[in-house]
Amino acid sequence: MFKLKPSLVILAAGMASRYGGNKQIESFGPSGETIMEYSIYDAIKAGYGKVIFIIREEFSESFKAAIEPKLRGKIDVEYVYQSLDKYSDGRIIPLERVKPFGTQHALLCCKDVLDGPFSVINADDFYGFDAFRQSFDFLCNGVEDGNYACVGYELKNTLSDNGSVTRGEINVNDEGNIVGITERKEICKKEAKAFTKIAGADFELPLDTKVSMNFFCFTPAFVDWSELEYYKFLAANLDDLKAEFLIPEVADKLINSGTGAIKMIPTQARWFGVTFKEDAPIVKAQLQKLSDEGVYPANLWDEQVLSVVDEEV
């Protein structure tokens, strides 16, 4: 059994090309909180012991300036830099390549700092406390090398009114274990329905389809296993300037190779995020509403509020 408290790994190295700005450190909450601060707050409340930020070194100074004063003394913090040259296996990365190599490559970049079970999430998604509560329980009582979990959300709760999105469609067996994660791209809403593109044609997805929002629970063994898979990915995709090594696709390979199992943790938690600039005012309104309803304090890092959280944990 693992003795250390679970860690929360936050993927914050994306370029946010569709959003058009550095949304990882943009203010959305009533007191200027970023979206990921709500995840960190919920993680502290659930019992997580450390947060690991995966960022790009070129904006590390501004990132740390925005987040460190708020978290100092509240949870252990560590930083990892994702860069194109890491784990290149001696290959020369094309000079034209700008986009990071994807979320699983980001996880691979933090291989040396993972010291126990962890959850991984996106920086720009709001996941809800129930997801952190259930994931923490799994990481403390159910996880082991080769047996992992993914938090599953209903597709209808993850769509944007402002453009298409990519989601990992989850298929489970009667035991609740995932038998496959299919990356569905260009999912959009049309007249209260959801459609994706398959072979260039519209294909309707049921609104209650369970999807991955990149909230996974792993041990370091999963990252170790993915290293060889990454080298295979590079060998096949090095010259594709947009190819990405993604967590859901690697998780799907783990399952279908018989290497491990991934349980789905269904949650009724509310999800929302910022993919497009037009999503920003909607997210701000939703966070304000949660604050008005007393679900979250107006200032997440108010010392009196945090002392209550510490007592609950």
Mean pLDDT within 80-101? 92
The domain 7-152+211-312 having CATH identifier 1.10.10.60: the answer here is no
Contacts for 122 with CB less than 8 Å, ≥ 6 apart: 10, 11, 14, 213, 214, 273
SS3 assignment, position 290: helix
Matching residue, tokens 């909607």: 282
Report the phi/psi class of residue 175: left, alpha or beta, with left for phi > 0 and alpha for psi in -120 to 50. alpha
Asked if 124 and 16 touch (Cβ cutoff 8 Å), the reply is yes
Pairing of strands 210-218, 165-172: antiparallel
Alpha-carbon distance 188 to 196, whole Å?
A: 7
The tens digit of pLDDT for each residue in 264-303 reads 999 888 899 887 788 889 999 999 999 999 999 999 998 6
Alpha-carbon distance 271 to 215, whole Å?
A: 11
The tens digit of pLDDT for each residue in 35-52 reads 999 999 999 999 999 999
Alpha-carbon distance 243 to 232, whole Å?
A: 13
Domain range annotation of the chain: 7-152+211-312
Alpha-carbon distance 248 to 218, whole Å?
A: 12
Mapped to the 3 state alphabet, what secondary structure does 117-182 carry?
A: CEEEEECCEECCHHHHHHHHHHHHHCCECCEEEEEEEEHHHCCCCCCCEEEEEEEECCCCEEEEEE
Length of the chain counted residue by residue: 313
Q: Taking the mean position of all CA atoms in its chain, how far away is CA 261?
A: 19
Ranges 17-21, 189-193, 213-217, 254-258: which has the least confidence: 17-21
pLDDT at 120: 98
pLDDT at 202: 87
Alpha-carbon distance 130 to 142, whole Å?
A: 17
pLDDT at 243 over 50: yes
Asked if 74 and 43 touch (Cβ cutoff 8 Å), the reply is no
pLDDT at 17: 46
CA angle (157 as vertex; 155, 159 as ends), nearest 5: 70
- Give percent above pLDDT 90 in the chain: 68
Q: What are phi and psi of 183, to 5 degrees?
A: -75, 110
Asked if 271 and 158 touch (Cβ cutoff 8 Å), the reply is yes
pLDDT at 306: 55
The whole-chain average pLDDT of the chain stands at: 89
Contacts for 43 with CB less than 8 Å, ≥ 6 apart: 8, 51, 75, 119, 132, 136
At 179, list the tokens.
């038998």
pLDDT at 66 over 80: yes
SS3 assignment, position 117: coil
Asked if 106 and 79 touch (Cβ cutoff 8 Å), the reply is no
pLDDT band at 182 (very low <50, low <70, confident <90, very high): confident
Pairing of strands 50-55, 7-11: parallel
Cα-Cα end-to-end distance for the chain: 21
